[in-house]
Amino acid sequence: MTQEFVPITISGTGSYAPKRILTNAELAESVDTSDEWIFTRTGIRERRIATDGELTSDMAAEAGRRSLETAGIARGEIDLVIVATTTPDMPFPSTACLVQHKLGLNSLAAFDLQAACSGFIYALETAAGMVRSGAYRNALVIGAERLSTIVDWQDRSTCVLFGDGAGAVVISRNHDPKSGWLGAKLGCDGSAVELLHLPGGGCQIPASSDSVEERQHFIKMKGREVFKAAVRVMEQSALQILEHHGLTADQVGCVVPHQANLRIIETLASRLGIPMDRFFLNLDRYGNTSAASIPIALDEAVRSGRIKSGELVLMVAFGGGLTWGSSLIRWP
Ligand code: ACO
């Protein structure tokens, strides 16, 4: 017996960025760097930093609220919440449970998903599968990060890269046969943990005065190796998903890539043969917001009219793990 899948789509998008802007020039007052170095190596000019009491769940809830508004879906109709985050409010309960409460949702299920910067693409695929099965009507999928908490502000090789924020989408059943969600391809290489990780705070290095002293609770990264791996896996993943659906790179109307580094995106564009003007970029204003990066960019691309109805949209990400993934949607 073959299983019938429910067609699905993204019915709404939303995002939230904290008000506080931290410019490259301001960073250069505390670490040995410059606006020129940061901009030419990364394309980043500034990033947003959450205020003291502003938690990942607060940013996630606000982005989620905005996406529900654009989807025109009542809170009672959301029965699944997934939050992709590397910076939850606390180890448990999940940030998704906190968001469910803050938004007053009657969800059947709420949980967090951790796949570093690829988290949103992983969460999208998870929610897509659950809604497609017919068991859930609408899912709220959020990528939210307060990376400023886990960035080592004394390490100039990482602190210049990251920022805070949240983005969200609503996944719903689709009634338009000409548009909608096509699918995703995910990947992982667990042998590359050392390239990008946060060693402290888990059972391997529990929090102690020594672990704090040794700065084990901050992001550690081998930038050059990450750069090379990122280009390779994003290209591979994008080509895989296109091929799977019998599509080619020239049919893509808009690419929404993980906003980590402009040079990574430019190299990817040239390898895929997709002109840079088809890539939506906002990393100059936000830096790398990890799991929040793609949904913030997607929301801005939709609201600014950059993504048009009927256009093929490719989202592609990579992150710690290493993890990677891409997804395709014919925009509604
Ligand atoms: N300001 C000034 N100089 C700096 C800075 C800085 N902020 N950071 C490093 N440097 C210096 C280094 O000390 C080094 O000096 P040296 O030559 O005297 O030793 C020199 O600049 C070159 O350093 P590299 O690390 O080789 O510089 P590179 O050109 O590779 O750029 C960068 C570094 C921007 C980090 C790049 O490697 C990169 O973007 N990598 C990918 C990182 C990334 O995308 N991470 C996010 C992953 S997603 C996730 O899951 C979180």
In sequence order, the 6+-apart residues with CB closer than 8 A to the CB of 56 are: 83, 85, 87, 88, 89, 95, 144, 145, 146, 166
Catalytic positions, written as ranges? 117, 258, 288
Where does the pLDDT of residue 71 fall: very low under 50, low under 70, confident under 90, or very high at 90 and above? very high
pLDDT tens figures, 130-175: 999 999 999 999 999 999 999 999 999 999 999 999 999 999 999 8
Q: Does 78 have pLDDT greater than 60?
A: yes
Q: What is the C-alpha to C-alpha distance for residues 243 and 247, in angstroms, rounded to an integer? A: 6
Q: How many angstroms is it from 329 CA to the middle of ligand 1?
A: 33
- How high does pLDDT run on average in the chain? 96
Work out the burial of residue 40: count CB atoms within 10 Å of its CB; fewer than 13 is exposed, 13-18 middle, 19 or more buried. exposed
pTM for the complete prediction? 0.96
Q: What is the C-alpha to C-alpha distance for residues 22 and 111, in angstroms, rounded to an integer? A: 31
Work out the burial of residue 222: count CB atoms within 10 Å of its CB; fewer than 13 is exposed, 13-18 middle, 19 or more buried. middle
Q: Does 39 have pLDDT greater than 80?
A: yes
Report which protein residue has its CA nearest ligand 1's atom 50. Answer: 319
Among 241, 219, 186, which Cα is nearest to 287's?
219
Domains of the chain: 8-173 (3.40.47.10), 180-330 (3.40.47.10)
User: Half-sphere exposure of 132 toward its Cβ, with a 13 Å CA cutoff?
Assistant: 17
Is 116 touching ligand 1 by the criterion CB < 6 Å?
Answer: yes
Strands (E), 204-261: 220-221, 254-257
Is 56 touching ligand 1 by the criterion CB < 6 Å?
Answer: no
Is 159 touching ligand 1 by the criterion CB < 6 Å?
Answer: no
pLDDT tens figures, 81-111: 999 999 999 999 999 999 999 999 987 899 9
Q: How many angstroms is it from 34 CA to the middle of ligand 1?
A: 13
Q: What is the mean pLDDT of residues 200-229?
A: 96
Report which protein residue has its CA nearest ligand 1's atom 3. Answer: 33
Is 156 touching ligand 1 by the criterion CB < 6 Å?
Answer: yes
Q: Does 3 have pLDDT greater than 80?
A: no
Asked whether 200 and 207 are in contact (CB, 8 A), the reply is yes
Is 227 touching ligand 1 by the criterion CB < 6 Å?
Answer: yes
Q: What is the C-alpha to C-alpha distance for residues 52 and 75, in angstroms, rounded to an integer? A: 28
pLDDT tens figures, 10-20: 999 999 999 99
